[in-house]
Amino acid sequence: MSRITKEEIEKTKCGRFLLSDENIYLSIYSLNSYVFEYNLLNTEDRILYHRLQDKFDARLINGVITRVREQIIELFDKDKYIEAKVYFKPKKLSENGELEFRPLHSTGLITQIGGLYGRITIDQLGKIQPDTRNLVLASALETLGITENRYSGIPTIRMEMEKYNLRQPEFLDERGSFIVKLYKESKNDYEDMSNDEETNNLIVFCKTPRTRKEICDYLGLNSVTYAIQTYVNPLVEAGVIKLSIPDKPKSPKQLYYSVEREE
């Protein structure tokens, strides 16, 4: 089998930008934003990390750009640049009698290292004025029109989701990270799922935290894996059911419990 070439990738606008010097240089320029755990780097990578802080070392940077480009092409060639599994569950019969499906995984997850700043809580986001780390700098950037109003981000996200009839986002502050869950399913799909009698019964059952085995037995199924993937995970994705250990979803001590549905 022939290897994929740089020219083949660059046939698309996205491919041209992906392999461009500009894109890779910007990644190098923003290196500090990508390296969250410096101590996990080996000695060679740590040396390179510090050397790349000099953004004017053209010889070094050009060499790194070339190596990164080769690595990207190799990932494309091995078809390993993205791996995803999407599971579907029967949803309902359409008016013409065709069976419609919906994906079990229906969220986009955005994580920002650092968590919420100051005294504000999740429930207060977009409702009150938060603390500002550097008030003078923030005010100056707003006055110059470089940034938006400091308090407009959360309301804007909510309005945009409402505009496209999507479920409202979920904001979380966990273990020093600020997490935003953006739901791809429409509010109508969410309401259809939550109004299903079988689903509602499961939600009521999980008002008391339950193990995987307890849920499987309740549903009258033999496979715990099937029970969780088919019946529980969609509710987890929808934010109706929560995990007691969210950072370790496969933990044998995991419990599932239902919460009040957002309107």
Contact between residue 99 and residue 88 where contact means Cβ atoms under 8 Å apart:
no
- For residue 52, give every residue at least 6 positions away whose Cβ sits within 8 Å of its Cβ, in sequence order, or none: 28, 31, 60, 61, 64
- Answer yes or no: is pLDDT of 162 > 60: yes
The Cα 262–Cα 114 span in angstroms is: 26
pLDDT, tens digit (0-9, with 9 covering 90-100), for 72-94: 888 776 655 545 455 555 666 66
CB 187 within 8 A of CB 166: yes
Taking residues 122-140, what's their average pLDDT? 72
Percent of the chain with pLDDT over 90: 13
Please, which pLDDT band fits residue 161 given cuts at 50, 70 and 90?
A: confident
pLDDT at 215: 93
CA 52, 57, 62, 63 dihedral sign is negative
Rounded to whole angstroms, the Cα distance separating 241 from 260 reads 9
Mean pLDDT of 44-67: 88
- φ, ψ of residue 259 to 5 degrees: the values are -130, 170
pLDDT at site 205: 93
- Interval 222-245: pLDDT, tens: 888 888 888 888 888 777 899 998
The residues near 185 (Cβ < 8 Å, ≥ 6 apart) are: 102, 106, 166, 167, 238
Reduced to 3 states (helix: H, G, I; strand: E, B; else coil), residue 40 is helix
Straight-line distance from the first to the last Cα atom of the chain, in angstroms, rounded to the nearest whole number: 53
Highest-scoring range by mean pLDDT, 104-113, 186-195, 252-261:
252-261
Domains and CATH numbers, the chain: 6-77 (no CATH), 107-184 (no CATH), 186-263 (1.10.10)
C-alpha to C-alpha distance for 211 and 251, rounded to whole angstroms = 11
SS3 215: helix
pTM above 0.75, yes or no: no
